[in-house]
Structure 1
Amino acid sequence: MQNRLLIIFTKNPERGKVKTRLAKDIGDQKALEIYKFLLEHSRKVTSKLAVDKQVWYSNKISENDIWDNELFSKRLQEGSDLGERMELAFKKGFAEGYKQIVIIGTDLFDLKTSDLEMAFSALDDHDYVIGPAKDGGYYLFGMNSLNSKVFRKKNWSTSTVLDDTLEDLLNFKLKILRTQNDIDVLDDLNDHSALKRLIES
């Protein structure tokens, strides 16, 4: 077993249940196509990473999907909100003996393997690493030991999450990565011709 673990939080790709804000403008089917495109990008980027990898599903584990069972172990998210689900995933990872754990979602088209490598390298001499998202949240978070406070008393999926989390980390050594853009609403597609082609086809 490695000392490093990447946790990937993903939603099961079901029509009408993914990219719901985006679906208001482009419809459920196109939103599902965008989400599947982002899933494939996430798979490619993370497959190359030389750490242990776990995919945590939102409502059921899919054994035969894009996530290769030999590269990714599969788990089921537990908890009443995003914070509780992330906290439990980190808690289990540290209980299993990992020393550095990073979590990401599957909403990023800009994410590169090098971003993930940089995040783990940062944990060699920082307590935490965070990747800010343009919408005021974060797309990546990592730590060397469990700090439950960062997952509690947050208004998830709002523009206050990043600032509130940074406040929790004021007294720690923190590495901040480049800001990236989650794909959540129609305007988020403007910088990505490949994604725009999907909704225009």
Structure 2
Amino acid sequence: MKTSCPVIVMAKAPVAGFAKTRLIPALGAQGAAALAECLMEHAIGQALDARLGPVVLCCAPDMNHPALARHAAWPGMTLSAQGEGDLGARMVRAFDRVLARTGRALMIGTDAPALDAAMLGRAAAALDDADAVFIPAIDGGYALIGLRRATPTLFSGMAWSTARVMADTRERLAAAGLRHVELPPVADIDEPVDLIHVPPEWCSRGHGAGRSHQVSPQRAMT
């Protein structure tokens, strides 16, 4: 029987002015929040389609937004709160909760629409032989991390949202004596220039809020 590998989806509530704020110059606050909801729905859908095990939507700032509650009703889904602290502290907390019950887990954000069910499946399979698995982000971070045991040193004191995150993580993995696998990198969606990796209809879901951003159909991800 295939070993269960829960998928933790780290997500912000799609609130205007709180979610995807760096996209506001291109999409407006409402448009950025609407895109954040599209990205979240896509990430959750791919995690469920991968059929690896339970999917945990780990929410910030809390679990009260209607979009989050709606997803909690989907079969195979549970909600949890990210809690306080920087991103590293919240990631450690989420992994601790899940790994206390299982021998492995994947964690993704909602910023990398290229992550699909097949890629999640390959990442889970990599944990058969490795202590950790990563899908790096093109900007120098990572879009997925999978672990077989909680390892706080990978997260504490990290300079998040910089181009050094994956490189620093490799150094910490080596220092901890952990065997890891890296799958091909993907783009994540942080800045207006990154919208080229988003299907154009996702950017129009804000009903015209803010300035429109045209995405080339030839280069949009499908």
**TM score, norm. by length of structure 2:** 0.83
How many equivalent residue pairs?
199
Residue aligned with 2:91, SS: helix
Match in the other structure for 2:183: 177
* Alignment pair present for 1:74 and 2:75: no
Q: Specify every segment of 5 or more residues in structure 2 that has no aligned partner in the other structure, as ranges.
A: 205-211, 215-222
Distance 2:90 2:196 in 1: 31
Q: Specify every segment of 5 or more residues in structure 1 that has no aligned partner in the other structure, as ranges.
A: none
Structure 1 residue 26: Cα displacement: 2.6
Q: 1:69 to 1:197 in 2, by over 3 A?
A: closer
Structure 1 residue 77: Cα displacement: 0.6
Contact 2:189 2:197 in 1 (8 A): no
Structure 1 residue 9: Cα displacement: 0.5
Distance 1:64 1:81 in 2: 24
Residue aligned with 1:164, SS: helix
Match in the other structure for 2:57: 55
> CA RMSD of the aligned region, Å?
1.9
Residue aligned with 2:63, SS: coil
Distance 1:120 1:8 in 2: 15
Q: How does 1:50-129 map to 2 (within 5 A)?
A: 50=51, 51-62=53-64, 64-95=69-100, 97-129=101-133
**TM score, norm. by length of structure 1:** 0.91
Q: How does 1:1-201 map to 2 (within 5 A)?
A: 3-50=4-51, 51-62=53-64, 64-95=69-100, 97-170=101-174, 171-194=177-200, 198=204, 199-200=212-213
Q: 1:60 to 1:32 in 2, by over 3 A?
A: same
Contact 2:106 2:124 in 1 (8 A): yes
Q: Deviations over 1:127-171 (max 9, x none)?
A: 110110111111100111111100112111111111111111123
Contact 1:12 1:57 in 2 (8 A): yes
% of aligned pairs identical? 30
Give the letter aligned to residue 120 of structure 1: A
Distance 2:71 2:200 in 1: 20
